[in-house]
Structures are given as C-alpha cells and as structure tokens.
Amino acid sequence: MKLQLKIWRQRTSTDKGAFVSYTVNDVDPEMSMLECLDVLNETLIERGEEPVAFEHDCREGICGSCGFMINGVAHGPERATTVCQLTMRHFKDGQELVIEPWRARAFFPIKDLIVDRRAFDHIIEAGGYISVSTGQAPDGNAILVGKDIADQAMDAAACIGCGACVAACPNASAALFTGAKIAHLSVLPQGKPERDRRALAMVAQMNAEEFGNCTSIGECTGVCPKEIPLEVIATMNRDYLRASWTRREDQSETILPFTEWSTGSKLQSDPTSRD
C-alpha cells in the first residue's frame, strides 16, 4: 500500500522546523511504523538527503526510546503499543499520517522527531530508588511480599519512561511517570522506610523540571504503552501529602501544591493513616 507521511523536520534545536510531505510506496502491512520510516530514509539517503532522525533501540516496546505523535495521538492509534511495535496493517492505503515529536516544555527538541527527555532521569535521581548499597541485602526471602503486592508493584514498575504521557497531557504533566515509580517502590515493604523522603524529593524535582500540573484529565493512561493506571497518581498524592504532614521540616521551598487533587477531597482520607 501507499502512504503520505507529513513529517516534522527540524535540523537543530534552535531551527524553526516545518512539516515536509513524503510519499512512501510499497508499504507492507506487516512492517512496523519504524520500518516504514527506515524505507523512507533509505530512499532519502540514496538521493543524498538527510534521513529523518528518530529515536529507537530495542524495537520491542521495552526500552522506551521510540515515540512520536501520529495524527495527534502519542504512539499512534493502537492501544498499549509503542510506535516500534505498531504494524502498518492498522492504516489504510492512501492515508496521510502526520508525524511530529513529543511537544512539552520540559522536553527540548534536538532534531526532527528526537527530543531531550533527561528531565525523567532527574526525577529518578532525586529519589526514585531504595537506598541499599551493594552487599547490604538480607536474604531474598527474609521479607515476605504477598503475590498481590508484588503484582501491584510490577504493574507500576512496567513504565518504560517513553514520555508519551507527558506528550498527551494538555498540561504536559509528568504525574503518571513519577507516580509509577513512587507507587512501585512504596507498595513494597523494602520501599517503605524512605517513602516520605522519596515522595517529597521526586515531586519537588518534577516541579523544578517545568512539567505542568496534573488536573486529572486522564489522557496519559490512555496513550501509555504499558497501561500504567491512574491510581499511581493517587498513590503519589497520598504519599506526598502524608510526607508533607509528617516531615514538614524537610519540605523545600520549591514544593508547591502539585495537583488539583492536593486541594481536593482525595486528601482528607490519608494524611494521618500510616498503612
């Protein structure tokens, strides 16, 4: 089949950038979206032009490198699917696809479809871990973790850090990403001791990175390739509030009320409970 690709081209981060249209003939329905771009790029290179720059590595939907908007939807039309796993059989012969990078203040453009997502690393760096140095661990079975808890942790830990949630959010909020890590670690007994510090530090960093506020619109979970549930944001809010209640002295100046929820009814149930 044949497709029209209208792709955002931008040579460097300071260039203005513009859409350029390309026709790709011989699109095989079994190809992935990235393989379709490969085919386009081969013809561009043969013509002496620069290929479309896009990020990718595993091409199995797990590394989180790839991602762009297709017709306004992060990672394209298929539910729970990254662009590297999106096969062309989901499009119709002759269709036009508008392809553009993630757009968010915290993700600076680099080239064409590539943006800088280092802000995510900074959020993890601020506290997205359990502080246990190599060699300090007790036996793996010393602390029992019920299957349902382990499953819950795994559901949240499945986040691949792709950034689609931010790109889809009208506020460009990183609440789903940050909430996923907080939820993963805070449900596990191993993660409990640092729960307060972690929530305070990660949320502060999230705000410092110029991500927008969460107003619980829910676009994020809809495009998330790993279907990270909105509940992780509730967990983040709960941990954060609990922490601000119990560790007031640790609060840094940069911490603002970070979601609309933090002034809403969700709060009330939690600050005092210490499950």
Residues 69-108 that bind ligand FES (CB under 6 A): 82, 84
* Ramachandran angles phi, psi of 76, nearest 5°: 85, -170
Q: Residue 141 touches which of ligand FES, ligand SF4, another protein, none (CB < 5 to 8 A by kind)?
A: another protein
By CB under 6 A, the residues from 221 to 250 that bind ligand SF4 are: 224-226, 228
Instruction: Give yes or no for residue 161 binding ligand SF4 (CB under 6 A).
Output: yes
What six digits make up the tokens of 79?
A: 């539910």
Query: Near ligand SF4 by CB under 6 A, which window of 40-48, 172-180, 209-217, 251-259?
Result: 172-180
DSSP state of 203: H
Q: Which is nearer to ligand FES, 79 or 105 (CB)?
A: 79
Cα(258)–Cα(13) distance, integer angstroms: 29
Cβ 154 to another protein shortest distance, Å: 4
Out of ligand FES, ligand SF4, another protein, none, what residue 255 binds, judged by CB under 5 to 8 A for its kind, is none
Q: How far is the CB of 151 from another protein (least distance, A)?
A: 8
Nearest to 127 by CA among 203, 215, 210: 203
Interface with ligand SF4 (CB under 6 A), residue from 27, 84, 86, 165: 165
For the CB of residue 263, give the shortest distance to another protein in the complex, in Å: 30
Can you tell me the distance from the alpha carbon of 154 to that of 188, in angstroms, rounded to the nearest whole number? 10
CB 66 within 8 A of CB 83: yes
The count of residues interacting with ligand SF4 (CB under 6 A) is 14
CB of 76 to ligand SF4, least distance (A): 13
Distance in angstroms (rounded) separating the CA atoms of residues 45 and 260: 49
**Measured from the CB atom, is 61 or 127 closer to ligand SF4?**
61
HEC readout, 106-127: CEEEEECCEEECHHHHHHHHHH
Distances (CA, A) of 59 to 33, 64, 210: 10, 9, 29
What are the residues whose beta carbons fall under 8 Å from the beta carbon of 233, sequence distance 6 or more? 175, 176, 179, 214, 216, 259, 261
Binding ligand SF4 by CB under 6 A: which of 106, 126, 156, 159? 159
Q: Which residues bind ligand FES (CB under 6 A)?
A: 56-59, 61-66, 82, 84
